[in-house]
């Protein structure tokens, strides 16, 4: 029987294999999995994890502060950089720079590395990171593209995932007592989510034809995702005196797949997002494999 790490890689390879073998014949499959993950699976993981914790006080507030301040810092640096340099595709690059794949990829990785002990902080990162991604992130990218505050605000309304995260936040905030059957169901859905999320990552690998300046974009996004983002989280964790483990791992995930979807939906150069996201996801998976099996991390 394969262990958790082996299963992790087998699921990723299975998703990638099915993607290559099926071509465009299974377009409905990733769409169906994504709908489940966004509206049922990940919310179930977050609710189950946050409500099962014995402490939603200082630790919750500190982890939330680290997440929010870090993401806003990276978002601000990205905006300032693109405004200063005048670099093209700023609307797309600020999304892939600022928002990691903390849900689909980060949660399974944190579960493998830290087990249940790390899922509390990991879930907080997903909750607040997604809220910012689908609100401020969407608004900012649309505003940079169209120069319209109205269009930016309308963009937020079009993402039901934002309202899902608001609901999760309210449930965590008021900490209601849930029936045992519902709690068990949420826990089961959480387990299914971890499995489907990794398969979905493999199935979502996609390189578009527009790869001009790909290496420059790759280096640019890598600097933000794997250097500036974890550095900001580490410094903030030291300031708030909380364990950086899971938050640090979440902060250095590859770009969120949702950023490519947002870019395509609003007519941005989504090829840039797809290329960089796919490349960094593959590099991350290879690096994670080496850390686990070669360096015995």
Q: What is the C-alpha separation between 167 and 224, in angstroms, rounded?
A: 30
- What's the average model confidence in pLDDT over 94-123? 87
C-alpha separations of 28 from 14, 31, 137, 255 in Å: 17, 5, 27, 23
Residue matched to tokens 């600022």: 98
- Please report, for the chain, the start and end positions of each structural domain, with discontinuous segments joined by +: 54-164+214-294
Residue (of 273, 276, 280) closest to 89 by Cα position: 273
* Interval 8-29: pLDDT, tens: 778 888 888 888 888 777 778 8
100 - beta bridge partners?
Answer: 255
SS3 255: strand
Q: Is 261 exposed, middle or buried (0-12, 13-18, 19+ CB in 10 A)?
A: middle
* Interval 259-286: pLDDT, tens: 877 787 777 887 788 788 888 888 888 8
Q: Is the dihedral of CA 111, 229, 258, 21 positive or negative?
A: negative
**How many Cβ atoms are within 10 Å of 243's Cβ, its own excluded?**
14
pTM > 0.85: yes or no = no
Residue matched to tokens 């936040």: 169
SS3 2: coil
Least confident piece of the model among 43-47, 129-133, 141-145, 155-159? 155-159
Q: What percent of the chain clears pLDDT 90, i.e. is strictly above it?
A: 20
SS3 279: helix
* Interval 205-215: pLDDT, tens: 766 555 556 78
Q: What is the C-alpha separation between 92 and 194, in angstroms, rounded?
A: 28
pLDDT band at 72 (very low <50, low <70, confident <90, very high): very high
């Amino acid at each position: 029987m394969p262990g958790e790490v082996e299963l992790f890689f087998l699921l990723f390879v299975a998703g990638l294999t099915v993607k290559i073998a099926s071509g465009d014949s299974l377009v409905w499959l990733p769409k169906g999995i994504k709908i489940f993950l966004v509206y049922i699976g990940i919310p179930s993981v977050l609710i189950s994890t946050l409500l099962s914790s014995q402490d939603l006080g200082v630790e919750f507030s500190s982890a939330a502060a680290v997440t929010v301040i870090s993401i806003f810092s990276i978002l601000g640096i990205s905006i300032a950089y693109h405004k200063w340099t005048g670099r093209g595709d700023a609307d797309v690059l600020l999304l892939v720079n600022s928002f990691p794949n903390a849900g689909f990829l980060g949660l399974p990785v944190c579960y493998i590395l830290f087990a249940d002990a790390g899922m509390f902080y990991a879930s907080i990162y997903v909750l607040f990171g997604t809220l910012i991604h689908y609100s401020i992130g969407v608004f900012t990218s649309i505003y940079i593209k169209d120069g319209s505050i109205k269009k930016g605000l309308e963009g937020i309304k079009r993402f039901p995932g934002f309202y899902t995260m608001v609901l999760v936040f309210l449930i965590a905030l008021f900490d209601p007592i849930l029936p045992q059957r519902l709690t068990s169901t949420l826990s089961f859905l959480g387990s299914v989510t971890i499995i489907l999320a990794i398969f979905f990552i493999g199935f979502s690998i996609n390189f578009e034809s527009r790869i001009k300046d790909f290496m420059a974009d790759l280096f640019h996004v890598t600097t933000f995702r794997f250097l500036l983002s974890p550095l900001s989280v580490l410094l903030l964790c030291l300031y708030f005196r909380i364990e950086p483990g899971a938050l640090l791992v979440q902060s250095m995930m590859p770009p969120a797949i949702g950023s490519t979807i947002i870019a395509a939906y609003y007519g941005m150069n989504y090829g840039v997002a797809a290329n960089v996201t796919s490349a960094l996801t593959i590099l991350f998976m290879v690096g994670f494999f080496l850390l686990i099996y070669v360096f015995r991390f």
